[in-house]
Each structure stands twice: as C-alpha cells, then as structure tokens.
Amino acid sequence: MSLNRRDFMKLGLGACLLPAVGCSRAEAVVSEEMYVFGTLVAVDVLSRDSEGARAAIADVSHTFTRQNRDWHAWKSGALGDLNRALAAGRAHEVDPTLLPLLHEVRDLARASGGLFNPAIGKLVGLWGFHHDEMPVGAPPHAAAVAELVAAAPSMDDLLFDGTHVSSRNPDVQIDLGGHAKGVALNQALDRLAALGYGNALVNLGGNLAVSGTRGDRPWRIGVRHPQGEGAIASVEVSGRMAVVTSGTYERYRQDGDRRYPHIIDPRSGQPATHVVSATVLHPDAARADVAATALVVAGAEAWPEVARSLGVRDIMIVDEAGRVQLTPGMAAKVQFAGRPASVKTVEIT
C-alpha cells in the first residue's frame, strides 16, 4: 500500500509534518514510508548520506514489523500468546521484550487512576475494535458490557513470577493500544541515534516523535482538526520530543448516523465522547501516548488532575463543542490555523 504525504489528512491522523526550510546544502531530509501497525508510517532523517540513511530507516522498519507482530493483542505473537494463556487460566512465560512493557503499563495505569487500562481487551473486542476494519452495526448488548465492567479487569490482577505471568482475574485481556506506538517511537529514535542519525522524525499514524532539528530550524508539526479538514494548529519542536494526539474521530463503530468512538471508558464500558481530541507533548512518547488516551477518557473537566498524576504539562484539549483548553506550556508553543470556538488556558499545579 502506497500513500503520499497528502494522504495523512485524508486518513484522519492526529498530526503531520508540515513543510519547512532550513536544511543546509550539505544535508537533505531522506524520507521513507511504510504501512505497519495498521497505519501509514513515515520516517524522515536529516543526513549527508542518503544511502546510509535509507539503510537505517530500513532497519527501523524491520523492527516495526516485529513489534507489530509481537505486540498485537489477538494475532499470533508474544502478546497474543499471553492473552490466550490468560484466557485459559494458565501462567505463561513472557517474551523478554514484552515483560518490561507490562510492568510499565501497569505503573502508568495506576498513575492514570485506571482511566488508561490495558486490561480491558475483552471490552475493546466486544465493541468490535480488534478488527483491522472499522465495525458497523448496533453496539453490544448493555448486559454484556455491564458484566465486563463489573468484573473490573486491571493490570493489578496480573501476577509476575520472574518471566512467568498469570492473572487472578479471568476477564483480564491485555490490549497495548495507547502505549505500544509510543514505545515504538521511542525505540525508533533510539535506534536511529545509535546508527548516527540524531536529527529525525518518526510519524506512526499521526503520533510523532522527533530528535534534534530539521537543519537550522525546529521540526514543525501540524495537529489535525478533530472536527474539520486540515490542521487546527501547529507546534515547533526540537531535541527529543513527542507530539501525540488521541481522538474520538480516529476510529469508531458506525451504526446508521450514530458513531461510537473506539476509546473506551473503563468505568462505564462505553465510548468516551466529551473530549474529541487530546494532544500531549512530552520527551517520552510512550507516556505521551498513554496520557493522550487517559485525558480523552477523563473528560473536559477532570483532565488536569489526570495530567498532573501522569506528569505531563504541555497539553491541548478540544471538547465536543470545539472549545480548546491549553496548559500554559502548550499555549507558548502552539499556533492556531484558524479561530477556535473558544480558547482557555488551564494551569496544572
């Protein structure tokens, strides 16, 4: 599958690289695109050696393919094998590359107050969001949703014995959506830097992370408008920084004229609806990924407390009425493409 840069917006992704100048004559941006993690992935590397840069990007691409296999919740791979063992009530020896992710998401789930909950894979599946294609038709029966909510699956139900993992709750099924892409972004930039490419941008379906600069200028990133065409805003970032957006517009269940977003509130088992997008800037792309999801679930009133708990401070929230809330740190960085319905600055103390 081949898509060009214009297709980023058509796909409804959270952010994209905007045109910029400033590369020195001795350097050029080497770009490659691939389709993995069920989305378009693009890698840009600033280099004087285009052949070497393409080899480095190919190295990263191979890693993405392996991660997509190993971290997929239901297909054959490390996480899928663990989920099948948990469903059967068995302890399972976990792949050494997966084990630290399980510990990390457990800690982040705790910090989010359970609003980010990777253990609700059964709920995600019940709503039909385990398929590559977006589901259609009526939502699941309320009784089935209520039963899984009452079971209260949690990452704290997991039992770790060295490399073996089991669960005391049979309804725990782990879905690393909302975390795995952030980890992949971190590891991609680490690998590129280890290969000598410290000025790079990686775009995983609209979730981006950058290192260094684009020549003598920052990387300029557009944040997609969650309720219209094009970008709602742009930010300029440099050094090591992720720009991650979660939104209820990205993926949904269509039932006639009704859309049910794919981000599920673990407290109710229902899709989150009041916040349509949350954009987070943070040096750790995995933390930014988790935070963006948790802030959508938290809603337009409660998100500052969750942001504080997760240790993120540069945030933009857009609610269902198109109103924008910004932290002071984000307000200092963002440039709006148009005029939002309203803009409010919110302190996180």
User: For the segment 126-155, what is each residue's pLDDT rounded down to a tens digit?
Assistant: 999 887 788 899 999 999 999 999 999 999
Could you tell me if 108 and 95 are in contact, meaning their C-beta atoms sit under 8 angstroms apart? no
User: For the segment 195-223, what is each residue's pLDDT rounded down to a tens digit?
Assistant: 999 999 999 988 999 999 999 999 999 99
Confidence of residue 10 (pLDDT cuts 50, 70, 90): very low
Confidence of residue 338 (pLDDT cuts 50, 70, 90): confident
222: Cα separation from own chain's centroid: 16
- Give which of 302, 291, 273, 91 is closest to 207, Cα–Cα: 291
pTM of the full predicted structure? 0.90
CATH class of 1-349: alpha beta
Cα 25 to Cα 243: distance, rounded to the nearest angstrom = 28
Confidence of residue 15 (pLDDT cuts 50, 70, 90): low
- pLDDT greater than 90 at residue 227: no
In the chain, where are the structural domains located?
1-349
User: For the segment 235-244, what is each residue's pLDDT rounded down to a tens digit?
Assistant: 999 999 999 9
